[in-house]
Amino acid sequence: MALLHYSGMSIDSFVEMEDEVPMRYEIDRHNDLVVLYCGRNSEYVLSIGRESLAALISLGTKAIAELTAA
């Protein structure tokens, strides 16, 4: 059961990632989703659509550029 369901997002927990966390992905072509798994036992999962994934990657790329410039 989600802790919060608002504005197209369902939030179950807060995740903070350290360096070198194991990650993998699976493609769900039927539903046009990517499923991202993080953690040694894939205990954290993010299901995300193509457009949202592109927006997340774009945002992450901007954040990396800002961290690099600091």
CA distance 67 to 58: 14
Token couple for 36: 């991202």
pLDDT digits (tens, 9 = 90+) for 18-57: 888 999 999 999 999 999 999 999 988 999 999 999 999 9
Domain that holds residue 56: 19-69
In a domain, 35, yes or no: yes
For residues 56 and 46, the answer to whether their CB atoms sit within 8 Å is no
For residues 43 and 36, the answer to whether their CB atoms sit within 8 Å is no
Looking at per-residue confidence, does 17 or 35 come out higher? Answer: 35
In a domain, 49, yes or no: yes
- Domain total of the chain: 1
pLDDT at 17: 83
pLDDT at 63: 96
In a domain, 53, yes or no: yes
